[in-house]
Amino acid sequence: MKKSNSFGTKQIAITAILLAICLVSQIFKSLSVFITGPVINACLLLTASLVNLPCAIALSVITPITAYFIAASPVMMVVPGIIPFIMLGNVVLVVAMNYLLKGNLNDLRLDGKFSLMFIIKAVLCALLKAAFMGVTISLWLLPTFIPEQLPLRQKMPVFQYTFSVVQFITACIGFIYFAIILVAIKSYAKRNS
């Protein structure tokens, strides 16, 4: 009997569906980052857990590019060099989840109660992403590459908050969505097995 391929049609289909969800959520980026950010983070985490790490990394790279074309923020227009660092921040999140948390996903209970270890590791993964983006984007990239004479420079504290604290919050909310969806999938699979 032929062994199942770790990257087959099912994995491509799941990744494509999660990418489509990311694209639709990016349309609402202008309303609030707290709509788009958690949805994208949840999709990245779902890809890492349901498909594999390479697909999650691919989605981590694709979503900042699509965000640029769908709803680029003014800071992205002025400093497009921010895009690779957003990609890397996403990669930090999925790699951290893959190595710190993926082993605990079988412990998710169907009653919705999560272990303290799951919560601590999820917060740590979110913190790693926020710390990476905070250091690279908020503390180095934006202060270095937004010219002093631009009016956008006056919004530097807002941008720095967005690419550090807001990244942490949206990643934490993304973990909540991720856990709820994973519990629902487990529950569905259990009922239909």
What tens-digit pLDDT sequence spans the chain (193 residues)? 343 445 688 899 999 999 999 999 999 888 888 999 999 999 999 999 999 999 999 999 999 999 999 988 888 988 999 999 999 999 999 999 999 988 777 666 666 567 788 889 999 999 999 999 999 999 999 999 998 888 888 999 999 999 999 999 999 999 999 999 988 888 887 788 7
How many other C-beta atoms lie within 10 A of the C-beta of residue 110?
Answer: 11
Burial bucket for residue 77 (CB in 10 Å: 0-12, 13-18, 19+): exposed
Give the Cα separation of 146 and 137 in Å (integer).
Answer: 11
pTM (2 d.p.): 0.91
CA 190 centroid distance within chain: 27
Query: Which of 57, 20, 47, 2 has the alpha carbon at shortest distance from 181?
Result: 47
